[in-house]
Amino acid sequence: MFRPKRIQKSIFDPDVYLPDEKVNALEKTWAGPFRREILPLIDEERFRPLYCPDNGRPNVPVAIMTGLCILKEHFNLTDEALLGSLEFDLRWQYAFDITSLESHICQKTLHNFRVLVTSQDKAREIFVDVTGKIIQRSNLSTEKQRLDSTHIISNMSNLTRLGLFVRTIKSFLKQVEKRHPKVYKQLPAVYDKVYVKRSGYFADVKSSKGQETAQKMCPAPV
């Protein structure tokens, strides 16, 4: 069920309970500009049609999920490092204007959001819109593009294709385990670890390693 980001202040917000000196120090890091300039550019209402209007558990605010996808690429982090930074690093909590009580997000939730975004054409338009606003606000030129630049949507798409491959292998292994349990037990343990127990977390990789990971798990035919 769609739920926008909380607007009302809480006594647990970092800028409420922290001394002015600490808040001023946070403003001088990347967290201050991100909170003031980037976070407000994310129009959560445009994501509303992607969620059930009146049923289900309220979603983690889209502004937070979108911001995490942006920062994952910017800092070249794995999912684990990304979510760990949000939960334990005061700069990240200040950047997203959330309390420490709101800073825990399940990795599966992040994975599901990426799947939702990459499976909807509307979501691509939203990401292009947000990117355009960031470019305009930063007074950047897009006339020339570095060949090694990071592209959020393309990296997410690479990992989504990898996810389809992983789900296919997982389904196959489940059938082998069900129909031929003795054969399944003879398989190397890595299959169970990578494709069964870690299914859904395949994107826990740095964006710079996304294509490399896809090639390792989806090797070209010989």
User: For the chain, what is the domain count?
Assistant: 2
Is the domain of 113 the same as that of 203?
no
Is the domain of 50 the same as that of 127?
yes
Average pLDDT over residues 69-86: 91
Q: Please enumerate in sequence order all residues whose Cβ is within 8 A of that of 30, keeping only pairs 6 or more positions apart, or say none.
A: 91, 95
Residue 87 has pLDDT above 90, yes or no: yes
pLDDT per residue over 96-112, tens digit each?
999 988 899 998 898 88
User: Which is more confidently placed, 206 or 76?
Assistant: 76
Residues spanned by the domain of 171: 152-217
Domain boundary at 137, 166, 193, which? 137
Average pLDDT over residues 5-33: 87
Task: Identify the band that residue 136 occupies on the pLDDT scale cut at 50, 70 and 90.
Answer: confident
Given this model, what pLDDT does residue 208 score? 65
Average pLDDT over residues 126-131: 76
> Residue 93 and residue 101: Cα distance in Å, rounded?
10
> Among 78-82, 125-129, 168-172, which is the least confidently predicted range?
125-129
Tell how many helices (H) and how many strands (E) occur in the chain.
Answer: 12, 0
Is 104 among the domain residues?
yes
151, two tokens: 């592209």
Is 190 among the domain residues?
yes
Given this model, what pLDDT does residue 31 score? 95
Task: Identify the band that residue 58 occupies on the pLDDT scale cut at 50, 70 and 90.
Answer: confident
> Residue 211 and residue 59: Cα distance in Å, rounded?
29
Task: Identify the band that residue 141 occupies on the pLDDT scale cut at 50, 70 and 90.
Answer: confident
Site of tokens 């800092």? 75
Mean of all residue pLDDT scores within the chain: 79
Domain boundary at 109, 137, 165, which? 137
Is the domain of 205 the same as that of 117?
no
> Ranked by mean pLDDT, which of 1-5, 17-21, 140-144 comes out on top?
17-21
Is the domain of 93 the same as that of 196?
no
Output DSSP code: residue 174. H
Task: Identify the band that residue 142 occupies on the pLDDT scale cut at 50, 70 and 90.
Answer: confident
Is the domain of 40 the same as that of 124?
yes
Amino acid at 58: P
High-pLDDT (> 90) share of the chain, %: 21
Amino acid at 9: K
Given this model, what pLDDT does residue 96 score? 94
> Residue 83 and residue 85: Cα distance in Å, rounded?
5
